[in-house]
Amino acid sequence: MKSTVVGSYPVELKELSSSKDKLLKFLGAHDTYKDAIKSSVIAQLDAGVDIISDGQVRGDMVSIFTEYIPGMRIEDGNTFIVSKIRNPTKEISVKDLQYAKKVMSDYYGGKIPEGKGVKGIITGPNTIVHSSRIQAFYKNKEDAIIDLAHSLKHEVDAIAKKAEPSYIQIDEPFLSTGMVDMKTAREAIDILRDGLDVPLAMHVCGILSQAFKDISRFNVDILDFEFAGNNVNIGVLEKNADLIANKKIGFGCIDSSVNTLDDAKDVEELVKKAIEIVGKDNLILDPDCGLRRAPKDIAFGKLKLLNEIKDKYS
């Protein structure tokens, strides 16, 4: 069994202390987020996480991408589609991921151990379009989703080539809402997947009763769901395990919606159940969703608990 995080980690932006840092900041060369990435990576590694993220410290999951995508505009925190969606103006997350990987490599004395690594994370085109408002050019969301998939494909390929991640995860929380056209959604993921030589994961939060059958047909290697925060999904998985026999399961077994430490017994029972259903070799344990809103010590405690259980059953 391996462990990972869904993505985000609590951010702590440090005050600049040295005059050199202050000068660099004045010149636009100091990146205050680098320290936040470093501390989130070290926390994940100290907790025993195998496949880490860069902590997604830079901002919310939509604007972090749309800021660099022509055709989309952010105003007061809302995203609008204002013209045809084109390719990103720069690589968005590659440098942060490369930095996270360097911190990881240093942590292990210069060589990342076998089976450990970083994962690239992209917010999916379905979720971005469904959380944006179309103001011009597109008559329907579906055409915008396909164009955005082609745009985000550049980021996916850049991550694969330059950061060499263990896998790439597409975040599509909207797929469980019933609002998304599943045929378009699948086509969009196929565009992101085309020619990719690293495994692809898709994270969907929420209750799966309605959407599981559709989601199980997506052309990805890993499906990542939440199982701790609701008591419905484990039953859905149990009933439909044959549909995902060719996939691994990112198994959310820590409740990221509460800022208290989970009951170790409850988590253990859930993991035991998952091992019965899909087998431990097909499981990647993680929290239900990102941990951004948790206090730092709670976030760390949650990851530590997760990894203790992983070690016990691996």
Min dist CB 276 to Zn ion, Å, is 24
Closer Cβ to Zn ion, 16 or 298, answer by number: 298
Pair of tokens at residue 197: 């030589």
Which residues have CB under 8 Å from 41's CB, separation 6+? 52, 54, 55, 100, 103, 104, 107
Any idea of the CA torsion for 225, 227, 228, 229, to the nearest 10 degrees? 70
The one-letter amino acid code at 310 reads K
Min dist CB 95 to Zn ion, Å, is 24
Closer Cβ to Zn ion, 7 or 71, answer by number: 7
Task: Identify the helix (H) or strand (E) that includes residue 284.
Answer: strand 283-287
* Residues in touch with Zn ion (CB under 5 A): 173, 205, 289
Min dist CB 130 to Zn ion, Å, is 14
Closer Cβ to Zn ion, 104 or 152, answer by number: 152
As a whole number of angstroms, the longest Cα–Cα distance in the chain is 61
Min dist CB 236 to Zn ion, Å, is 16
Pair of tokens at residue 167: 């896998």
Contact of 302 with 287, CB cutoff 8 Å: yes
Min dist CB 96 to Zn ion, Å, is 20
Closer Cβ to Zn ion, 50 or 224, answer by number: 224
Which residues have CB under 8 Å from 44's CB, separation 6+? 5, 9, 52, 53, 55, 303
Closer Cβ to Zn ion, 100 or 228, answer by number: 228
